[in-house]
Structure 1
Amino acid sequence: MSRLFEPLSIRDLTVSNRAWVSPMCQYSSTDGLPNDWHLMHLGQFAAGGAGLVMTEASAVTPEGRISPQDAGIWNDEQAAAWRRITTFIHHQGTYAGMQLAHAGRKASTRRPWDGSGTVPEEEGGWRAVGADDQPFGEYAPARPFSEAEVAQLPGQFAAAARRAVNAGFDVVELHFAHGYLVHQFYSPLSNSRTDRYGGDFEGRTRLALEIAEAVREELGEGRPIFARLSATDWEDGGWTIEDSVRLARLLDERGIDLIDTSSGGNTPAPNIPIGPGYQVPLAERIRTDAKIATGAVGMITDPEQAEEIIASGAADAVFLARALLRDPHWPLRAANALGADARWADQYARAKSWR
């Protein structure tokens, strides 16, 4: 029996397998609206057998977008556009998850194929708002949030979460990683505030915990909520795996069900020991020490590798990204390789024999 293809129950959801789609920015929206590209992009993974399909980072406010072309969930028009996509995903027997995000000081930047750096206001950009005014690399410095503005962020995430549910999403993930806003607050490398949202561990993690509390209160008890953390900054004097274990325990107490365990992103050139499954030990450490479910992500490419991650107890699920871009039917191929049953779309069932 393949462990990768065992169901996983979280609150009221039972996901059919543990091969899940990681959030992957597409930089292809206008005014935050998903379109035919997003339907194709996410729909192919649902037809390809993934147990859970996560959207890209979807901004909770217009200024929270990474780029002007980022998707959003800050208004009802966007929620209505997402419903077409969740309906298709559900028709494939798969669950849909939305990642809620605010880019903070890394907002208003060019999408990858348009170059790099900050998009100026005259080209459709805006001044980013962050934990403080320290710039990220060569980006333009952000305006620091006032304390009153920070206090409004949990409500903005909660409102976005409610719209996500109304759009048909089964899972909500809070993007607290990769140098975006909440990571900027909890990392000592990017938070020089002296108010209640800065200073020591308690102050720097306050925003993450307030957002988690607000979203759980908004969604009630039945719906799973994940949080993606950068488990380490990979920098001296930065956020550490020990800090992540401590924060994961506090998030667990506030109703977060799973830590999607990534790393880095808060400094331009961290010393990351990249290799196959390089972040898996971070997921295992959080799962073991914080006693919370985790997802592993990062250079997970082979079915046997994914199977070992789950079977060894390193994580409860694997999030796949580039492997799925290369092969949207990776879960179906993995099921065949591991001798497991997998759900095939009726239209594709003729290929099930792999002969």
Structure 2
Amino acid sequence: MSALFEPYTLRSLTIPNRVWMAAMCQYSAEATGPDAGAPHDWHFAHLAARATGGTGLIITEATAVSPEGRISPNDLGIWNDTQVEAFRRITRFLSAQGSVPGIQIAHAGRKASCHAPWEGGGPIAPEDGGWDVVGPSPVPFAEGHLVPAELTTEGIAEIVGQFADAARRALDAGFQVVEIHGAHGYLVHEFLSPHSNRRTDAYGGSYENRVRFALEIVDAVREVWPDDLPVFFRISATDWLEEGGWTGEDTVRLADELLAHGVDLMDVSTGGNASGVRIPLRPGYQVPFAARVKAGTRMPVAAVGLITEPEQAEKILSNGEADAVLLARELLRNPSWARRAAVELGGTTQVPQQYARAF
């Protein structure tokens, strides 16, 4: 059998194949009112199409643990029970198609309160409908961006609790995988990196202090998440800075600590915390960072980043560089990519009976 179509088991959960959908923001939820942050028909259709297309694990977009944790006013959230009920419709359908429903829980930190990409992506000031942003230090992401208020230790503890509450609601909503977003320059990543973390207290300075917030979130989530279901952690393995940033060495070191705290898989991406950096984009450009974690630790890993062809994905797994692949924009272009890959590689995917006559 193709390595891409071998089932994969973490704790008691078996994912039917290694073709997984990465979290991708849709910027399409209601911004205000009783349904703010709740998924609706667009989110259902978007996620359901990838399930009927044979994707093994489907991870929602970055889903905010609080209103202030949203990237944009139109992000999804899981801070109330209205959102939980709306998500149940989606998780029921994904599960019925044989896909595993996963959710990425997140806080955008200093990169919160921004417009959607098609509206320019720039910051929204509080007087224009945005809100005040927070971070480990009062260092804006880029020139012209909002200056974050430095979180107090009480504020840090409150956000740790929000992650735990979000995980509890995610379980109630029917999700079987919860992923903590520690990448792309959002709040957890901001604490990890010395580029954005200039604190001098117990949450800044040394590596041990900078990873404290991430480990506290993991512990809080693991405490409310069932022992028989997996927790993922998304990491930016490098800031792509020559000095003064988070590095591949840091990522390998953190992987072992996350494993000891109950994380089951590291979702390895890069970048997002430093503006204006040059990233060497090419097919599979982030795979070596996943491979480095896999070679240097016992942490299972998933690779992501310009993985577009079935043979390319198969090679990543058969070479032992990762345990699964996460597709993003390629699944926007082709919701049935998994089925195409199965045909090319000799694998199998579940086909809805309504579509069976086409195969």
- Regarding TM over 0.5, the answer is yes
* 1:168-247 correspondence to structure 2 within 5 Å: 168-236=174-242, 237-247=244-254
Alignment partner of 1:265 is 2:272: yes
Q: Which amino acid aligns with 2:266?
A: I
**CA-CA distance at 1:273 after TM superposition:** 1.2
Alignment partner of 1:65 is 2:96: no
Alignment partner of 1:113 is 2:115: no
* 1:317-328 correspondence to structure 2 within 5 Å: 317-328=324-335
Q: Who is 1:26 aligned against?
A: 26
Partner Cα distance (1:131, 1:33) in 2: 28
Partner Cα distance (2:166, 2:46) in 1: 22
Contact 1:234–1:264 (CA under 8 A) maintained in structure 2: yes
Paired residue secondary structure (1:156):
helix
Paired residue secondary structure (1:347):
coil
**CA-CA distance at 1:120 after TM superposition:** 1.7
Q: Tell me which moved more, 264-273 or 65-74.
A: 264-273
Root-mean-square deviation over aligned CA pairs: 0.8
Contact 1:147–1:195 (CA under 8 A) maintained in structure 2: no
**CA-CA distance at 1:152 after TM superposition:** 2.1
Give the counterpart of 2:80 among 65, 75, 78: 75
Provide, for residues 222-250 of structure 1, a one-character-per-residue CA deviation record: whole Å limited to 9, x for no partner. Answer: 11000000000000221100000001110
* 1:269-284 correspondence to structure 2 within 5 Å: 269-284=276-291
Contact 2:125–2:146 (CA under 8 A) maintained in structure 1: no
Contact 2:84–2:170 (CA under 8 A) maintained in structure 1: yes
Paired residue secondary structure (1:251):
helix
Q: Which amino acid aligns with 1:96?
A: P
Q: Who is 1:4 aligned against?
A: 4
**CA-CA distance at 1:4 after TM superposition:** 0.3
**CA-CA distance at 1:290 after TM superposition:** 1.8
**CA-CA distance at 1:123 after TM superposition:** 2.6
**CA-CA distance at 1:195 after TM superposition:** 1.1
**CA-CA distance at 1:220 after TM superposition:** 3.0
Q: Who is 2:109 aligned against?
A: 104
Runs of 5+ in structure 1 lacking a partner?
none
**CA-CA distance at 1:122 after TM superposition:** 2.8
Identical-residue share of aligned pairs (%):
55
What TM-score results when the alignment is normalised by the length of structure 2? 0.97
Partner Cα distance (1:123, 1:154) in 2: 28
**CA-CA distance at 1:351 after TM superposition:** 1.5
Runs of 5+ in structure 2 lacking a partner?
31-35
